[in-house]
Amino acid sequence: MKLPYIILVDDDRQVLGAIQRDVRSKYRDDYRVVGTESANEALELIKELKLKNEALAMIISDQKMPEMDGVSFLEKAKETFENAKLVLLTAYSDIEAAIKAINTVKLDYYLLKPWNPPEEKLYPVVDDLLEEWHSHYKPDHEGIRIIGYQWSPKSHHLKEFLTGNLVPFLWMDAEHSPEAETYIESAKASSTSLPLVVLKDGKVLADPELSELGNAIGLRQKPAEEVYDVLIVGAGPAGLAASVYGSCEGLKTLLIEKSNPGGQAGSSARIENYLGFPSGLSGGELTRRAIAQTLRFGTEILTPQEVKKIGVHDGYKVVEMSDGSVIHSKTIVVSTGVAYTKLEIPGIEKFTGAGVYYGSAAVEANACRDGIVFLVGGGNSACQAALHLSTFAREINIVIRKDGLRQTAANYLVENISKVPNIKVLGNTEVVAVHGENILDEVTLQNCSTGEQTKVPANALFVYIGSRPGTAWLDDLLLIDDKGYILTGRELTNEKTFHSKWKLNREPYFPESIVPGIFASGDVRSGALAGISSAVGEGAMAIRFVRKYLQEN
Ligand SMILES: Cc1cc2nc3c(=O)[nH]c(=O)nc-3n(C[C@H](O)[C@H](O)[C@H](O)COP(=O)(O)OP(=O)(O)OC[C@H]3O[C@@H](n4cnc5c(N)ncnc54)[C@H](O)[C@@H]3O)c2cc1C
């Protein structure tokens, strides 16, 4: 444990020297004893300690000081560390002020000067107070803090980013947590610079970009090598599996992810159909295990970094990143999966992250506590999210155009949902409007047969209405099907342009695209079976063909 602080403040250098000497000689092994002649300097130090999550056990301050009197100083200090023990050093003539302070600042003790001998007049008092402080002291959260407004999209993105990257953090709502105010003040920030991220070492980032935050928490954003054997775009289950098998087989492997490793699976609250986990596991846990495994084999991961373009030059694949940097690789596996389809309702954008969420059930569940939640969509992911949120929210409403869930969701999920009393399925219904000042507070539901509309209160709306492939950035380099999925293997040979584009004497391998050495795996591949197990299998299989390609070239 880090040693707690004792701060001593006295503008009289001689008195400060004396109290410092006495306190240090007895307590220096168990406390960090710091002295200053300036009350303002002490207040600055106190704020710094707060940001660094240090513990402040006691402040001993003189009453008569030029910058401010001791009582006013202690009052200010207490706003930041409300549990620190406060001791006022007084001359006999200041006793009245000290007695008053017992009530106003809840002064713990006033100590008359001089305090000689300390064994009689100082140490017994300080011992008692420190013992009492220890008995009530609870260590603060040691890691990262995010301070912002609950319904701010920016706060939501930061939370989602850290959750997805498996970085623990403490969320502090600027509106409802008095401690959040202390942090904002200590960081000399204002409400316009929120969200704030306070790092472990006390460094503060005001409204940071994801790349700035990624850098600050040590996520790698620049490659270590000049050329890789295989570069994998997207760290969902397919990309993670490809990276595990790539590095395990001794290939120089680079995995690039634009936001959070884990992909869609990372946002799943409970995966129940993954082999080897009979009681299910969360997407976060699956991702954590996969990252640990792939790092152990030597994969390099760059995140958050978005691949903007790929091309081919002198036989090497050239990958352009969103920050303008370029990376070379002998082969590429594209495993960019799919992204959520947006709900097309006028004005909904303004609520995204402020009451409307796409697949963030695990991240925002706590914010739904005792609230009324609507979920649009009746597939497996919507059902999983409903089950997860039902333990937080007062009421969950699954809104679907069809009559019920039987046609769209797996049996076991439909069964589980029917047993949860606070989940209602609103069949034959759609959400047609969203309302609120800055955050969502109502939705309009429409009966699909009669057209009848009802406006109802809503604290959150989660959208699970399908997805589209993440291939727009490929810029015609690869052949894609009419829905945007990457064509591979035999499928390519049916394309009109196949013979003009494919010049090798062999056919494309099963996961190979129209460009030799560029492969696709997982949900983004045309004809792939969506799902975690299939994505993992496809990632592993892509590496088999990467090896074949490397042996030939
Ligand atoms: C909420 C939810 C619950 C689910 N539950 C289950 C379940 O219980 N069982 C099951 O079998 N399936 C489940 N699925 C489906 C399953 O998660 C997907 O089939 C699987 O994640 C597909 O994996 P993937 O690696 O192909 O793609 P994705 O998981 O979509 O991952 C693609 C990754 O690529 C990244 N990326 C995209 N473009 C770029 C770029 N240009 N540069 C860098 N990175 C990029 C994305 O950020 C993303 O992380 C669920 C899906 C959701 C949304």
* pTM for the whole structure: 0.77
**CB-ligand 1 contact for 234 (6 Å cutoff):** yes
**CB-ligand 1 contact for 87 (6 Å cutoff):** no
Q: Higher model confidence: residue 279 or residue 243?
A: 243
**CB-ligand 1 contact for 265 (6 Å cutoff):** yes
**CB-ligand 1 contact for 69 (6 Å cutoff):** no
Residues 6+ apart with CB under 8 A from 367: 150, 460
Q: pLDDT digit string (tens) for 110-142?
A: 999 999 999 999 999 999 999 999 988 888 777
Q: What pLDDT, on a 0 to 100 scale, did the predictor assign at position 538?
A: 97
% of the chain surpassing 70 pLDDT:
99
- From 243, 260, 336, 463, the mutation candidate for ligand 1 (largest count of ligand atoms within 8 A of CB) is 336
Question: How many other CB atoms sit within 10 Å of the CB of residue 274?
Answer: 18
Q: What pLDDT, on a 0 to 100 scale, did the predictor assign at position 98?
A: 84
**CB-ligand 1 contact for 284 (6 Å cutoff):** no
Helix axes 237-248, 532-552, angle to 10 degrees: 40
Distance 265 CA to ligand 1 centre (A): 5
Q: pLDDT digit string (tens) for 375-424?
A: 999 999 899 999 999 999 999 999 999 999 999 999 999 999 999 999 99
Report helix, strand or coil for 520: strand
Please give the C-alpha separations between residue 179 and each of 114, 170, 363, in angstroms, as whole numbers: 37, 12, 22
Distance 341 CA to ligand 1 centre (A): 13
Ligand 1 nearest-atom number relative to CA 267: 1
Gyration radius of the chain over CA positions: 30
The residue whose C-alpha atom lies closest to atom 8 belonging to ligand 1 is: 271
Distance 529 CA to ligand 1 centre (A): 12
Q: pLDDT digit string (tens) for 81-118?
A: 999 999 999 998 888 888 888 888 889 999 999 999 99
For residue 439, is pLDDT > 90? no
Distance 217 CA to ligand 1 centre (A): 24
Arithmetic mean of pLDDT over the chain: 92
Q: What pLDDT, on a 0 to 100 scale, did the predictor assign at position 487?
A: 98
Residues 6+ apart with CB under 8 A from 12: 37, 62
Q: pLDDT digit string (tens) for 338-372?
A: 988 989 998 898 888 888 998 766 678 888 899 99
Give the span between the Cα atoms of 351 and 360, in whole angstroms: 14
- From 268, 375, 413, 521, the mutation candidate for ligand 1 (largest count of ligand atoms within 8 A of CB) is 268
Which string of DSSP letters, residue by residue, matches 381-438?
A: HHHHHHHHHTTT-SEEEEE-SSS-STTTS-HHHHHHHHT-TTEEEETTEEEEEEE-SS
Q: pLDDT digit string (tens) for 292-341?
A: 999 999 999 999 999 999 999 988 999 999 989 999 999 999 999 998 89
Q: pLDDT digit string (tens) for 187-225?
A: 888 878 899 999 988 899 999 999 899 999 988 888 999
Q: What pLDDT, on a 0 to 100 scale, did the predictor assign at position 1?
A: 65
